[in-house]
Amino acid sequence: ARRAALLAAVADPDVATAFAGGRSAGLVAVRPLGYRHQRSTGGRTFLRLEFTDNTGERFDWIVRDVRLLDAGPGEIALPAGPEAPLLYAAVGLTHPNHRFPGRFRGCHPLVVGLHPADGSPLLPNETSLEGTAGAPGTA
């Protein structure tokens, strides 16, 4: 409960607010709709998260959370869909490459970290993180 309260207190209300005013990073409450692996044109495989924020807007972004980079299909322990638990996504923008003009000032948006509100593990080999909010060296 302490972890969820801390995350809720510091989170931005939605993706647009997280990147408002020239900001390039934020924390947003999201509902995961699905996880998938997808090959890029360069041949690398990326984990992608499809999610909605509190406005109901739908996003589909690459996830760069180091805990999940090597996760295979089906290895993510958290469910996705309408009944999925609340997650907090640490979101960020890349250096502008202008392949994505407009909304994100020419930058590519990414999920750089995932934090389950209730401290649930992201992967089957992780232990619960509940009660670790605020402890040094913890998420």
Outline where the chain has alpha helix (H). 2-10, 15-18
Query: What is the model's pLDDT at position 134?
Result: 47
β partners of residue 52:
31, 58
CA 117 from centroid of its chain's CA atoms: 12
Q: How confident is the model at residue 139 (pLDDT cuts 50, 70, 90)?
A: very low
CATH placement of domain 2-116: 2.40.50
pLDDT digit string (tens) for 47-86?
899 999 999 999 999 998 888 877 776 788 778 888 888 9
DSSP 91: E
Write down the domain spans for the chain: 2-116
pLDDT tens digits, 81-103: 888 889 999 999 988 776 666 77
Residues in the chain: 139
pLDDT digits (tens, 9 = 90+) for 109-124: 999 999 999 888 888 7
